[in-house]
A and B are shown apart, each in its own frame.
Chain A
Amino acid sequence: MHLKYESTLREPLVDGVKDYHQVTEDIISPIEAKPGKLWYVGLVISICLLCFGVFSVTWEVYYGTGVWNLNKTVGWGWDITNFVWWVGIGHAGTLISAILLLFRQGWRTGVNRAAEAMTIFAVMCAGQFPIFHMGRVWMGFFVLPYPNTRGPLWPNFNSPLLWDVFAISTYFTVSLLFWYSGLIPDFATVRDRAKTKLRKLLYGIASFGWTGSTKHWQRHESLSLVLAGLSTPLVLSVHTIVSFDFATSVIPGWHTTIFPPYFVAGAIFSGFAMVQTLLIITRKILGLEEYITVGHMEAMNKVIVLTGSVVGCAYLTELFMAWYSGNPYEFAEFYKYRAAGPLGWSYWIMMSCNVISPQIFWFRKLRRSVLVTFIMSIIVNIGMWFERFVIICTSLYRDYLPSSWIYYRPAWPEVGFYLGTFGLFFTCYFLFAKYFPVIAVAEIKHVLKTTGKSFKEDMEKYEELPAEQFAHDVAHH
């Protein structure tokens, strides 16, 4: 009898009759097998996109940021939009692994590894946009506080843009450590199963010599828990700081106090959508339907409908405050230029994708449909991209001075750069899916006995007994 009892009414987290060895077999064997045709096709497309991105960026660095269609009015365009979007995507990974770990949500185990990997790759993509936005990228190290030959002139610690530097780099480092420390035991599993010398060598290095000693596991658990405790406020702080880039300015449409929670909710919303997109593809290609179940997707869809509604609430609050504040510039910004101006189409795409469409997840049937979830995840990603575009561009293109009003559309190097980050993201993800255990093997084994399907079936006979009988049986099992 296991120490923990979980009701059979709850859906099993692992379908099918599994023992520990079968779990290892299911998750590790894709690493050992030859990748399928789809994998090669996906990887080649991703690498092509990546190359195009590198070309666009090289073009931009060579000729200067003038090749982008940015101008004095719209100084932040696609690049900063993409930065905020990618950072937002990264948030679901840490949310799933850290916050849900603290909340003791068992369903995180099936999806956390892939979600954390997504975080790392998304932050890698995000970080490039502000760096290349600087124009003279080789001067990028100026943001680092180090004793220098310029004065000594230090960076401005009051500036939200510098806070961003610290926030994003800390976020990347901590996520990487969290992800990798979780991977060490699973790499050891791959190493000990390895048949070829090369695999044994590489996974031997990657696993740091992990043996699975009880004392090590005890420290490992302590480490994961504290890292989760540290990452939880970190997730909230990073996107809060990103929102400060806007909220501490004086641009109508930007300097609102609702930005921090609104950005965080939006980040989780788009992050979960991206996790859904990736996991639906991953579970299909690697045949992991028993580990990433419909129940997992339903749980994530619930988060999507919650955060989507929070974001919707924030949009309406902004509209209300623009009217209620009595500030003519705020009013004009929200009602005339955002909802009805020349860029108004982007506002309505945002509204329909983010506020209206996720509401279909109130219906259980749609929440549990793989196809609907997949389509919705793409819609939400598009919607959230437009949210960032709306915030940045529609606030800028009509400023205080009507003579500088302008329309903004991107140039090809801006689009190419964006596509390039997709290439980078998916190249990394495809390599991850092939060479890394996509599901946290040790964590699945940890919850298998209490939440697996076979265990729940064994427990069914107890469910019908009265409580006293159940307690007696447990005590004498």
Chain B
Amino acid sequence: MAVKKFVVGSFGDEAVLFPAVKKVRTAGYKIHDIYTPFPVHGLDHAMGLRETSLHTAGFVYGITGTTTALSFMSWVFNVDWPLNIGGKPHFPLPAFIPITFELTVLFAAVGMVMTFCYLCQIMPGVKKHIFNPRQTDDKFVMVMEVTARSTEQELTSYLASVGAEDINTQVAEEGWWYGRFDREENLQELDPAAPAVQA
């Protein structure tokens, strides 16, 4: 995972954040990510993020559950062990509905949660870089990557001009890794050979 250099600015209120996001994007800077303590509606659109297709995945999982339940029960009662239970038919569709419904819900829910964890790359034991410890409390943290096209000073002064507070520069490993939150990890020491992308 690449170690990169980021300029981090935080906002105290979403009313300041929204116009700032628009300005930053209009100016042509790329926002690495914005971390918020709660879902801010419309922020994904303002940042130009694509709609998630998690719900489509959920639908596919649900259909899988329906098919599994119906085909399994029919196979059991008609092919594998056709037992006469009180003269009831071998393919009693109404009696199959409850289990079919339950399995549909079960497959959809379990599948979606696992997909969610996979897409967000979260699970027990995963550690990610926290740019500002108050990003899960009350700060809205905008993170910009220092690339070949934008210098640290430029980004810092631009963030300040759109209303960000306590702006600082951090070297961080993007993505995720196994680690523990009770251990401080100094990334530059971790990988001294990989220099941060210089401005």
Partner of A212 from the list B35, B76, B88 (CB cut-off 8 Å) is B35
Cβ contacts under 8 Å, B41 to chain A: 3
Shortest distance in angstroms between B160's beta carbon and chain A's nearest beta carbon? Answer: 21
Segment 146-162 of A: residues with Cβ below 8 Å from B? 151-154, 156-158, 160, 162
The reply to whether A157 and B95 form a contact with Cβ atoms under 8 Å apart is: yes
Interface size of A by CB at 8 A reads: 73
Stretch of B100-108, B149-157, B186-194 with 4 or more beta carbons under 8 angstroms from chain A:
B100-108
A178 to B62 alpha-carbon distance, docked (Å): 16
Segment 380-430 of A: residues with Cβ below 8 Å from B? none
A321 close to chain B: CB less than 8 A: no
A166 close to chain B: CB less than 8 A: yes
B9 close to chain A: CB less than 8 A: no
Partner of A220 from the list B39, B102, B106, B109 (CB cut-off 8 Å) is B39
A177 to B96 alpha-carbon distance, docked (Å): 25
A139 to B102 alpha-carbon distance, docked (Å): 23
The reply to whether A237 and B98 form a contact with Cβ atoms under 8 Å apart is: yes
B33 close to chain A: CB less than 8 A: yes
Residue of chain B at shortest CB distance from A151? B81
Known contacts A170-B106, A211-B130: does B137 contact A218 (CB below 8 Å)? no
Cβ contacts under 8 Å, A151 to chain B: 81
Segment 1-33 of A: residues with Cβ below 8 Å from B? 1-3, 19-21, 24
A222 close to chain B: CB less than 8 A: yes
Cβ contacts under 8 Å, A223 to chain B: 54, 112-113, 116
A97 close to chain B: CB less than 8 A: no
Cβ contacts under 8 Å, B37 to chain A: 20, 24, 185, 189, 212, 441-442, 445
The reply to whether A197 and B113 form a contact with Cβ atoms under 8 Å apart is: no
Shortest distance in angstroms between B179's beta carbon and chain A's nearest beta carbon? Answer: 8
The reply to whether A192 and B103 form a contact with Cβ atoms under 8 Å apart is: no
Partner of A166 from the list B38, B102, B135, B182 (CB cut-off 8 Å) is B102
The reply to whether B138 and A19 form a contact with Cβ atoms under 8 Å apart is: yes
Partner of B52 from the list A156, A157, A160, A218 (CB cut-off 8 Å) is A218
A445 to B96 alpha-carbon distance, docked (Å): 44
Convert A184-201 into 0s and 1s, putting 1 for each residue whose CB lies closer than 8 angstroms to a CB of B: 110011011100011011
A45 to B117 alpha-carbon distance, docked (Å): 38
Cβ contacts under 8 Å, B35 to chain A: 211-214
A211 to B136 alpha-carbon distance, docked (Å): 7
Residue of chain B at shortest CB distance from A24? B137
Partner of B108 from the list A152, A178, A204, A230 (CB cut-off 8 Å) is A230
Segment 112-158 of B: residues with Cβ below 8 Å from A? 112-113, 116-117, 119-130, 133-138
- Report 26 cross-chain contacts, Cβ distance below 8 Å, ordered by A residue: A24-B138, A157-B73, A157-B76, A157-B95, A158-B92, A167-B98, A167-B102, A173-B110, A174-B109, A178-B109, A185-B37, A192-B133, A198-B182, A204-B127, A210-B122, A210-B136, A211-B135, A212-B35, A213-B35, A214-B36, A215-B52, A217-B36, A217-B39, A219-B119, A231-B105, A442-B37
